Amino acid sequence: MYSTGFYKNKAKNIREFCRLLVEEHDGVIPDEIEPLTKLPGIGRKTANVVLQELYRKAAGIVVDTHVMRLSRLLGLTEHKDAVKVERDLIAKVHKRYWLNWSLYLIFLGRKHCTARKRICTGCPLNDICPSSEVQPPKSGRKNSK
């Protein structure tokens, strides 16, 4: 069995989260990003997941390591910081896709663009992906002598 990393700090955050949730929010999880991110242990990624899953609200885009990696490969960002990646994605992705954007990239990453090996052949984005390893067909006529 493996120990959970930083378990003392996590336990402290959970206790404080529960206390504040009851005292300041009457036991109801906030439905806005600002009050959520003020709760202990809740960053933007977790707040976005909570808003999406509990309230079907898109206040931003969930950015985890997979979304960050694929967003860089697709040329949607150059950043490695999740907040900056989210800012870039918000500017480039239409809001109607925010709820599912991270899932789209996660599924793409599982099937075609894994961290260990990219399988560009058959990827639905290989025609537009700047990182595609599939060579585009050569255009033009053959020279005949």
Judge whether 26 counts as a catalytic residue. Answer: no
- How many other C-beta atoms are found inside a 10 Å radius of the C-beta of residue 61? 28
Judge whether 88 counts as a catalytic residue. Answer: no
Among the residues of 1-145, which ranges form H helices? 7-25, 33-37, 44-55, 65-73, 82-92, 98-111
**What CA–CA distance (Å, rounded) separates 145 from 141?**
12
Catalytic residue of the set 45, 80, 88, 127: 45
Catalytic residue of the set 12, 64, 92, 117: 64
CB 17 within 8 A of CB 41: yes
Q: Give the angle 125-65-69 at the CA atoms, nearest 5°.
A: 35
Token duo for residue 90: 């918000």
Task: Give catalytic residues, as residue numbers.
Answer: 45, 64
